[in-house]
Amino acid sequence: MKSRVFILYTGGTFGMKTSDTGGLAPSSWDEIIDYLPAIKNQTFFHYFSDIEFTFETLEPVIDSSDITPEAWERIAQKIEENYKDNDGFIVIHGTDTLAYTSSALSFVFENLDKPIVLTGAQLPIFHPRTDGIVNLSNAIYIAGHKAFGIECIPEVCICFNDDVLRGNRAVKTSTNDFEGFSSPNFENLANLEQNITVNSYLLYRRNTKDLRLLSNFSNKVVNVTIFPGYSPLSLIDLINTNKIDGIVLKTFGAGNIPTGKDWTRLIEACEKHNTIVLATTQCPNGKIELGQYESSKSLNSSIVIDGKDITSEAALTKLMWVIGNFTEDKRCKMLTNNLRGEIS
Give the residue numbers annotated as catalytic, written as ranges: 13
Neighbours of 78 (CB within 10 A): 18
- Rounded to whole angstroms, what are the CA distances from 75 to 60, 116, 140, 181, 324? 12, 11, 18, 21, 17
Structural contact between residues 17 and 124, judged by C-beta atoms closer than 8 angstroms: yes
CA dihedral of 253, 258, 276, 316, whole degrees rounded to 10: -40
Structural contact between residues 29 and 9, judged by C-beta atoms closer than 8 angstroms: yes
CA–CA gap between residue 125 and residue 12 (Å, rounded): 11
Q: Which residues contact 111 (CB under 8 A, 6 or more apart)?
A: 207, 209, 210, 211, 212
CA–CA gap between residue 156 and residue 85 (Å, rounded): 18
CA–CA gap between residue 189 and residue 198 (Å, rounded): 6
Give the three-state DSSP class for 319. helix
Give the three-state DSSP class for 91. strand
Number of H helices, E strands in the chain: 10, 18
Burial (CB count within 10 angstroms: exposed 0-12, middle 13-18, buried 19+), residue 245: buried
CA nearest to 61, candidates 97, 27, 31: 27
- φ, ψ of residue 13 to 5 degrees: the values are -55, -35
CA–CA gap between residue 109 and residue 79 (Å, rounded): 10
Helix (H) or strand (E) holding 262: helix 261-273
Rounded CA Rg of the chain: 21
CA–CA gap between residue 31 and residue 149 (Å, rounded): 31
